[in-house]
Amino acid sequence: MALQTLSGFVISAISLLFVGVLPVRPSFAGQPVCQEDPASLDTKVVDEASGLALAPGGGFFVMNDSGDKPRFFRVNSKGRDLVEFNVSGWKPFDPEAIRVGPCPTVMPGLCLAVADIGDSRDRRKFVEVAFFAIDRLKTAATLKPDRILRFRYPDGARNAEGFAVLSNSRLLVVTKEQDRKSRAAKPARLYTVGLSGTGSALAEATAIFQAEWDVPEWVKDHGLGGLVTDIDAAEVTKERLRVLILTYGCVVEAEASWTLGRLTLDNKRVYRVDSMEQQEAISYDDQKRGFYFTSEAPLAALNWLSAGDRARMPIRYVRPEACGDRLR
C-alpha cells in the first residue's frame, strides 16, 4: 500500500512537469505571493529575450537579442497569443532593451522605444533608439520607426543594456562596465539623453553623464556579481525616481533625486530574488510595487518547463513588500 501511494505521488509529480503549468510559490493565510511565475514565453520564437516592457492595457512587449532579425513581439499577461511586429527601414546592431513611455516631444501619446545600445567591444561612434507609436501596435504588421534618435557618449564608446524613458523628455541609460582582462564588473555609469530635439525622423544628440553607481560594491556582501543587464525607472515625483537594476544574480532598487539637473543617489536595497541563468530583462508592474524579469538563457537549460514539444521561458514576478526578509 505504501509503495502504491509513493508510486502514485511520483506519477502525479512527473505529470505536473508536462502539462504546461508553471511553478507558483503559494501564499499563506491570504498573504500576497512573494515570487511566482505567472507567465512564460515560447522559446521557439523568443529564444533570447533581452527586452521586456509592460504593455498598456495588459501583457508585455518582448524582444530578442542581436542574433534575431529586426522585430519585436506583444504577448498577453500569460505570455501567450504572440503578435509579431517586423521592422523595416532600420537595422539595429545590438538591441538590448525596450520601454514604453512618452513619445518624443513632437509626437503625442505613448511610444515603444527600442534601444540599440549594445556595444560589447566599445567601438560604436553612435547608438540609436527607435520609437514606435503604441497606437500602431495592435495587430501584426511590418512597420518603420516613427522616429529614430541617434546619440553618442561624451567620453567615448560604451556598452549598455539598461535603458528607461522618463516623462521629462529624457532617456536614462546605464552602462554595463567590465574589466577587459579579468572580466570583473566595474561601477556602472549613468547618462541621460534629451528628447526635445527629435523633431525630424532622424535626430542626433550627445548623452550627458550623470553619475557613477558602484553596483559591484553594493552587492559584494551577497556574493553576487554587479554587471548591469537591464533597468527600469518609476517616477515618484518630478524630482524623485526609483530605478530597478537587474544583474545576473540579484535585483537592486535605488532611490534617486534630481538636484540642479543631476541625478543623485539617495538610498538602495538589494533583493536576492530566485534568479535565472542569464537574466537580462526587467520591468516594473503597473503599480510600481513589484517587477517582472526574464532570461535569455539557452533553450536546453529550461527544458523542464516543456509543455509537449513547446519549451517555455518563465517570466518571474516579485512583490518585495510581500516577501519580508526573504529577499535579504
pLDDT of residue 168: 78
Task: Identify the pLDDT of residue 197.
Answer: 62
Greatest Cα pair distance in the chain:
76
Counted residue by residue, the chain has a size of: 328
Give the SS3 label for residue 135.
helix
Q: What is the mean pLDDT of each run of 10 residues along the chain (328 residues)?
A: 40 38 40 84 92 97 93 97 97 97 87 97 96 95 95 97 92 95 93 79 90 94 86 95 95 94 93 91 96 80 48 92 87
Q: What is the pLDDT of residue 199?
A: 64
DSSP 158: -
How many Cβ atoms are within 10 Å of 3's Cβ, its own excluded? 7
**What's 295's domain CATH number?**
2.120.10
> Considering the domain boundaries, does residue 25 fall inside one?
no
Closest CA to 56 of 101, 96, 115: 101
What 3-state class would DSSP assign to 271? strand
What is the side-by-side order of every strand in the sheet holding 141-143?
49-54, 60-64, 71-75, 83-87, 141-143
What CA–CA distance (Å, rounded) separates 198 from 159? 23
Q: Tell me which residue range forms the domain holding 86.
A: 32-327
Within a domain: 7: no
- In-domain check, residue 3: no
Confidence (pLDDT) at 209: 97
Tell me if 20 is assigned to some domain. no
The count of domains in the chain is: 1
Q: Evaluate whether residue 221 is within a structural domain.
A: yes
Distance CA 3, CA 223 (A): 43
